[in-house]
Amino acid sequence: MTITSPHLGSSEAWTDARLLYALEEVVEKELNRHLKVAKDWMPHEYVPWTDGRNFPGLFEDGEAWEPGQSKVTDIGKTALVVNLLTEDNLPSYHHEIASLFGRDGAWGTWVHRWTAEEGRHGIVMRDYLLTSRAVDPDKLEQFRMAHMSEGFESDNRHSMLHSVAYVAFQELATRISHRNTGHQSGDPVCDRMLARIATDENLHMIFYRNLLGAAFQIAPDLTMQAVRDVVVNFRMPGHGIPGFERAAAQMAIGEIYNLRIHHDDVLQPVLRFLKVMDIDGLGPEGMKAQEELGLYMGGLDTEAAKFDERLAARRARQAARAKG
């Protein structure tokens, strides 16, 4: 596949403003496609309200929270808190993409629509957690305040292309994290709720992935460099959550999100769909970025294999202890 830039001769000529203008028609097309396939849903319909009861506070009959009040597994609780706190920073995410993409035209319509859809996720997850008493409500609120008070600044806020590349992968990563959390939660109600959220995240990924594909058509060298940078330096938006590293380690062991999942289920599907490693006709910088991307993916696969071995050994030890 040979891709060349039909509009401007050099990468240096592509400013964010020119890229936004050049991609406007693609954004409008993808927005219309999204609106046709996206289905509105009601967060309150996914919450087991009859399981709810008062907490202490204004209500004299309030029942204090206890860890054993919920059927959700320990790893499910950990992942649900991380996923919810990540969603809580939606105001910061909106500010970032509105600043980069603008609030007018098709770009602006998408920014607001995306924000509205994402807002449902935090609503339904918090309602579920409190109603089902899956987590300590006081600690959850303390975590929310600490996390949101820090705000959020994307590693890719300097570049529109980097931001598009990042969300193409991040939306898929979020979908996978939600879906696997549901599977590991031990509660069919939670599983259905997170499956509904994951459906949204997948549609968001498709929007950004297709937009990234269009960017390769008009600015292949710059887009390749952006993809290289994003993949090599990727980290989830919830990395600032208090205790994130420990929670991430638990989620890795619990097979909700780890190196193997990141390589096989997040990075590779997007790269394969866009045929990123098959693009030719690149300039020197684009070819260098493509080569470095391939080397990184090979190294990541090796690291994932080592993680797989450690995880298998851990399981074997646990099984041996259970028998003995």
What is the reported pLDDT for 78? 96
pTM of the prediction?
Answer: 0.91
What is the reported pLDDT for 186? 96
- 112 annotated as a binding-site residue: no
Angle, to 10 degrees, between the axis of helix 105-131 and the axis of helix 137-150?
150
Alpha helices in 67-136 (DSSP H): 74-88, 90-101, 105-131
Closest CA to 154 of 96, 222, 74: 96
What is the reported pLDDT for 12? 59
What is the reported pLDDT for 45? 97
- 34 annotated as a binding-site residue: no
- 121 annotated as a binding-site residue: yes
Q: How many CA atoms lie within 13 A of 2 on its CB side?
A: 2
- 60 annotated as a binding-site residue: no
What is the reported pLDDT for 264? 97
Residue 277 contacts residue 293 (beta carbons within 8 Å): yes
CATH numbers and ranges of domains, the chain: 38-322 (1.10.620.20)
- 303 annotated as a binding-site residue: no
CA distance 232 to 284: 19
CA distance 292 to 314: 33
Residue reference for tokens 């590991």 = 184
- Cα–Cα–Cα angle for 168, 45, 266, nearest 5°? 20
**List of residues 6+ apart from 222 with CB closer than 8 A:** 11, 14, 161, 215, 286
CA distance 162 to 139: 35
Residue reference for tokens 């099984």 = 319
CA 158 from centroid of its chain's CA atoms: 19
Q: Which residues of the chain have pLDDT under 50?
A: 1-9
Structure tokens at 272: 């394969």
Alpha helices in the chain (DSSP H): 16-22, 24-37, 74-88, 90-101, 105-131, 137-150, 160-184, 188-218, 220-232, 244-253, 259-261, 268-273, 284-323
CA distance 4 to 303: 34
- 255 annotated as a binding-site residue: no
What is the reported pLDDT for 1? 35
What is the reported pLDDT for 120? 97
Closest CA to 276 of 232, 206, 203, 217: 217
